[in-house]
Chain A
C-alpha cells in the first residue's frame, strides 16, 4: 500500500503530469506524421528522460507510447496512409468513412476505441503481471536462458517476411552485444584495439541508428514525395465526440474482444501493434453479422483496429514487468531507460521497486486519459501535422538523433558509431531483414550470456537445460515457433505459386 501511495504521489506531481502531457502531445504529433513511427518517437524521448526520476521518465515514455498508438490514426483516416504500422487496418474503414464525408466520426471512433483499449489492457496488466513475477522469481538461470532463447526465436519468426533473415537479425543482435567487456569477468572482447569499442556498443546509439536513421534514409527514397506535403480534408469537420463515445460503448463485444486480442498479442514477445490491429480487425470481421460491410467504412472496423493496437501497450508490459523480458522494441527501450538509472529489470522488480511498478500501472491509466483529453480538445490542430513535408522532417529529426546519441555518454565517438550503425541499419532494412529481433538481441544478449554461464557455474552438466521441466518447455516452444513459422512461410509460398500459375 505504501508503494502504491508513493507511486500515486510521484505520478500526480505537477511536474510529472506536465511532462506526461507534453509526451502525450508529442506522441500524437509524431505518429500523425507518415513515416515517423511510435518506436522512433520513444527512441528520441529516451535521452530527454535521463535527468528525470526513473518513474517520471518511464511515465513520460508511456504517455508518448499511448499517444503514439492513437496518433497513427490521423493520417490513416484522412490520407489512407497509416501513420504507423500499427494503424494499417484502421485505413480499411476509417479512410472510406472519411471519404464518404464523415472524417470527424472516423477520428472520434478511433480515439474512443484507443482510450477504452488502453484502459482494458491496463486492467489486464495489473491483474497478470504480479502473479507472473511471483512465478518468475522461482526460475533458475537454466529456465531464464531457455526463456530468452524462446523470446528471441518467436520474435525472429513472427516479425518480417522471412524466418531465416529474422533469425539472422536476432543473432546479429546477440553478436553485437558481445562486443566490449564480458558481463561476468569483465574480460575485453572484440575491441580490436579501438577505444570506442572497449566499453561495448551503447544500446541507445545502436537503437537510434538501426531504427531512426535507417527509417529517415528510407523516407527520402522517392524524390517526388519528399518535396510535397499532402493536403488533408479542408472542409469543416464535425467530431461528434459524445455521440461517438456512445456508439463505441454500444459495441462492447467488439471492443472487449479486440482489446483482449491486443493484450494477448502484446504479451507475446515479438508481436506488437503492427500485428494486433490486423488480427483484431480480422476477428471482428469474422464475428460480424455483416462482414461484407467491412472495408466500406463500417465503425466496427475502426473500433477493432484501434482498440486492438492500443491494447498492446499494456499487454507488452506484462512480460517486461513480470519476467524482465521485453516483448517489443518499445518495451526494450523502456527497459533501457530503467537500466540507465541503474534499475535492473527482472522478476524482482515488483518486490524491489514496487513503487515503480505501481507507478507504471497508474501512468498507463493517466496516459490514456491524457491522450483522450488532448485528442478531443486539439484534434483539429493535429490534422495539420500530417501536412508537414518530409524535407522539413528528415533534417530536423536527424539532428535530434545526433543529440540523443551524444547525450548518453557525452562522447563524440558515439556520433561516428551512429553514422555507421545507421548505414548498416538502412542496408539491412532495404534487404528485408527485420530490425526488431536485432534490437532485442542486443538487449537480451548479456542477460542470456549471464544466465548461461551462471547455470553452468552452478552445475556443469549441460543436460540440465533439457531435464528441468520449465526449461525444456521453453526450448520445445522455441523449436515449435520456428517450425510453425517455416510451415506458414512454405504455405504462403505455395499459395503465391498457385496464384502466379493461375495468372499466367
Chain B
C-alpha cells in the first residue's frame, strides 16, 4: 500500500468514526427521552431514571465534541471516495464477514440441532474454510471438531454438571 492509498484509507476510517459518533449521539438522545417512562420514586430524590439520564447526557456532550473534532480532520474531497474505500475494506476483510456469518448461523442452530452436532458442524466447517486443505490437516480438523463438540459436551456434563443444549432435533 503506497502513501496515497494509506491516506485515503485513513480518511475513510475517520469518516466511519464520524458516522459512529453520529449514531452514538442519536442513540443517546433517543434513550435520554425514553428514560422519561421509567417510574419515579417517592422515597428518593433521584429515582431510577436519573443515573441513566446523567450517562446519556454525558455521552451526548462527548459525542458532540467528537463530531466537531472529527469533522475538522476530514478533508472535503474524502467524502467522494468513501463508498469505494468501504467496498475495498469489505473485500479485504471477506474472511471476517464469512467467519461472522458462519458463527451467527451456529448460534441460531445450537438450540435446534443441539450443542454437539451444531458445534461439530461449525468447528469442522470453519476449519475447512480457513485451513490449507491437505489430507493431514483434514484429519486434524475432524479430530479437533470431535473434541470441541462431543468431547466438550461430555466434559461439561460429567465434571461441571453444566448441561449444554440438547436441541429440539434430538428431543423431538
Task: Identify the A interface with B (CB < 8 A).
Answer: 47-48, 50-51, 164-165, 167-168, 171-172, 174-175, 178, 182, 184-185, 187-190, 213, 216-218, 220-221, 223, 226-227, 389-392, 394-396, 398-400, 402-403, 406-407, 410, 412, 415-416, 418-419, 422-423, 426-427, 431-432, 445, 448-449, 452-453, 456-457, 460
Contacts and interface: CB of A to CB of B under 8 A. Distances in A.
Given A51-B160, A221-B95, A187 B44 contact: no
A392 B127 contact: yes
3 residue pairs, one from A and one from B, having the closest CB atoms? A391-B130, A182-B48, A395-B126
A395 B45 contact: no
Interface in B118-172: 119, 122-123, 126-127, 130-132, 140, 144-145, 148-149, 152, 156, 160-165
B46 A221 contact: no
B16 A172 contact: no
Contact of A403 (B49, B58, B156): B156
A427 B16 CA distance: 10
Contact of A453 (B35, B51, B115, B122): B51
B131 A391 contact: yes
Contacts of B16: 431
Nearest to B104: A419
B34 A190 contact: yes
Contacts of B144: 392, 395-396
A183 to B, nearest CB: 9
B41 interface: yes
B96 A221 contact: yes
B95 A223 contact: yes
B148 to A, nearest CB: 5
A36 to B, nearest CB: 15
Contact of B17 (A167, A184, A431, A457): A431
A452 B164 contact: no
A500 B104 CA distance: 43
Contacts of B107: 402, 415-416, 418-419
Contact of B152 (A226, A394, A399, A415): A399
Contacts of B74: none
A134 B59 CA distance: 35
A171 B110 CA distance: 33
Given A395-B123, A399-B123, A403-B152, A171 B165 contact: no
B55 A174 contact: yes
Nearest to A49: B160
Interface in B58-111: 58-59, 62-63, 65-66, 69, 92-96, 99-100, 103-104, 106-108, 110-111
Nearest to A449: B51
B110 A187 contact: no
14 contacts: A48-B160, A164-B62, A178-B51, A178-B55, A217-B96, A220-B96, A391-B130, A392-B140, A395-B127, A396-B148, A398-B103, A406-B162, A431-B16, A448-B51
